Amino acid sequence: MLVKIEQRLQDPARFLILPLDEAVFLGLPFMMGLLSRQIIVGSVVAFVVWSVWRRLKGEGGIERLLAAAYWYLPSEIGIFKPFPDSATSVWEA
């Protein structure tokens, strides 16, 4: 019996040709410009926000961005409150 294992299980979700997070950062400002009848302004803002997001995200994706936020932001900020403090270098038993 031949079992085929999918090789691309870790790939991010996609919307059309873009990863889902990039599609949101591109589509949301464009839709807001469309709804406010300022398509050109919405398109420019969407492109700027999308390119800044791609530059921030880099090659590592969202996982790398979240890891950087955990290590460099204070523990009081963000969604990392339940995690141990990243500034602790030695844990005493």
Q: Which two tokens stand for residue 42?
A: 């919405």
Intra-chain end-to-end CA distance of the chain, in Å: 50
Read off the pLDDT of residues 21-71 as tens digits, 9 standing for 90 and up. 888 888 889 999 999 999 999 999 999 998 988 888 777 777 777 777 777
The reported pTM is 0.60
- 10 Å CB burial of residue 29 (0-12, 13-18, 19+) is buried
Angle at 52 between CA 47 and CA 55, to 5 degrees: 125
Q: Residue 3: CB partners within 8 Å, gap ≥ 6?
A: none
Decide if pLDDT at 2 tops 70.
yes
